Amino acid sequence: MSAKTIPFEQIKAEMLVDPEVKTHYDAFESAYQIARLRIKRGLTQAQLAELVGTKQPSIARLESGAVEPSLSFLRKVAAALGAHVEVNIVAVTDR
């Protein structure tokens, strides 16, 4: 009997149907994106902090999802990473 491989995107889509899972996923998505882009740029947290004009623990807290950053701070971090911030307002339900 051989094991069937299920693509990650399929598992992710199935899990995100659960509103509680989606809420937690969304809370960490920006933190994940920042950490991924920082690593892709070859920067340490300390180097990114220096570019942003803050301290390394601030970047660590941001990447851990432990804090909800201000939009202005996110813009500074994004600019230091050669990126930009996009904000979407999405209706929870149609009324």
Enter the pTM of the model: 0.70
What confidence tens digit (pLDDT) does each residue in 6-22 have? 887 888 888 888 888 77
Please say if the pLDDT value at position 25 is more than 80.
no
What residue has token string 């598992």? 11
Q: How far is CA 18 from CA 11, 24, 30, in A?
A: 12, 10, 20
Give the pLDDT band of residue 88 (cuts 50, 70, 90): confident
Query: Residue 3 above 90 pLDDT?
Result: no
Report yes or no: 48 and 79 within 8 Å, Cβ to Cβ.
no
Q: What's the rounded Cα separation, in Å, for the pair 20 and 44? A: 32
Which sequence spans correspond to the domains of the chain? Answer: 8-80
Which run of H or of E encompasses 81?
none
**pLDDT exceeds 70 at position 34:** yes
Phi, psi (deg, nearest 5) at residue 86: -120, 135
Q: Which of 53, 57, 44, 41 is nearest to 77 (CA)?
A: 53
**8-80 has which fold?**
434 Repressor (Amino-terminal Domain) (1.10.260)
Helix (H, G, I), strand (E, B) or coil at 56: helix
Reported as a single tens digit per residue, the pLDDT across 58-71 is 999 999 988 889 99
